[in-house]
Amino acid sequence: MSKRFIQADFPLYEGTKVPHLRISEGDTASCVLLPGDPGRVDLIGQLFDEYSIISSNREFKVGTGAYKGNPVSVCSTGIGGPSTEIAVLELLRLKAKCLLRIGGTGAIQEGIECGDMIINTGSVRLGGSTGHYARPEFPAVANHYVVQALIEACEELGCRYHLGIGATTSSFYHGQGRTVGPYNYSSDIIDEMKSLGVLNLEMESETLLTIASVMGAYAGTLLVVHANRITNQWLVDYEEAQMKLCQVALHAVTKLIARGVVQ
């Protein structure tokens, strides 16, 4: 049996394809939307003028096309820090300049309703994956141009939105204070974060914001509220909310391109 090898530090398939996303430089736009769920990569395509899925490998699905004449790509990250690190690093390797997470989240303040939008200006780094990139005191902060474009996009499209700090965890159940059994190891996470004024819990923003920041790229996070953990409500009919999320994100991207922040 023959054994073939390529270099292991950053292996490239067929000479040019990054190993997990399986795409090459030039396949994607410089602005990429990042949902966790691969299903959202298909869903958002309805809003584009032209759109095609160009790869699908593990949790990573990539679509690319044009929205109102602007080149935009979409790449799912999967759930959590480790797979998000892979997607972000491979996109940056392909010369992406602006990465915008479009995801779902659980709100932890009473006044935030399911279906509302949240723009996180920064994330509490509870997830763990970015400890490989920066010491714990390093802040995970969104780029201010991206935050401004998201605010304007929410206002122009008439969406209720909340602006502030979120927290990223590496666990959906116990790490977000859900009851999983007879013991409660970390059940005070909601009270602790709520008392600090943190708006919401989710699982990827910390990774995106920290890595983009240290690598010199622009990043931001737009989330739609899937659940409110204080009122104990989980939105079942979620597709309409996700479509709104995608519309707002694409509207923000057109602003960033028109302003020359990204091409």
Ligand X SMILES: O=P(O)(O)O[C@H]1O[C@H](CO)[C@@H](O)[C@H]1O
Ligand Y SMILES: O=c1cc[nH]c(=O)[nH]1
Interacting residues with ligand X (CB under 6 A): 35-37, 79, 103-104, 172, 202-204
Residue 202 engages ligand Y in binding (rule: CB under 6 A): yes
Partner interacting with residue 106 (select from ligand Y, ligand X, none; CB below 5-8 Å by kind): ligand Y
Q: For the CB of residue 256, give the shortest distance to ligand Y in the complex, in Å.
A: 25
Residue in 29, 74, 102, 201 binding ligand Y, rule: CB under 6 A = 201
CB proximity list for 92: less than 8 A, separation 6 or greater: 99, 211, 212, 215, 217
Residue nearest to ligand Y (CB): 106
Rounded Cα–Cα distance for residues 190 and 195 (Å): 8
Q: For the CB of residue 105, give the shortest distance to ligand Y in the complex, in Å.
A: 5
Rounded Cα–Cα distance for residues 226 and 240 (Å): 11
List the structure tokens of 226: 């899937």
Q: For the CB of residue 79, give the shortest distance to ligand X in the complex, in Å.
A: 4
Residue nearest to ligand X (CB): 36
Among 25-33, 47-55, 102-110, 254-262, which window interacts with ligand Y (CB under 6 A)?
A: 102-110
Partner interacting with residue 62 (select from ligand Y, ligand X, none; CB below 5-8 Å by kind): none
**Residue number with CB closer to ligand Y (78 or 104):** 104
Partner interacting with residue 63 (select from ligand X, ligand Y, none; CB below 5-8 Å by kind): none
Strand partners, 119: 163, 222
**Residue number with CB closer to ligand X (79 or 215):** 79
Residue 227 engages ligand Y in binding (rule: CB under 6 A): yes
Residue 176 engages ligand Y in binding (rule: CB under 6 A): yes
First-to-last C-alpha distance (Å) of the chain: 47
**Residue number with CB closer to ligand X (137 or 237):** 237
**Residue number with CB closer to ligand Y (205 or 213):** 205
Rounded Cα–Cα distance for residues 33 and 87 (Å): 11
CB proximity list for 55: less than 8 A, separation 6 or greater: 21, 22, 23, 27, 61, 62
Residue 105 engages ligand Y in binding (rule: CB under 6 A): yes
Per rule CB under 6 A, count of chain residues that contact ligand Y: 10
Binding site for ligand Y (CB under 6 A): 104-106, 172, 176, 201-203, 226-227
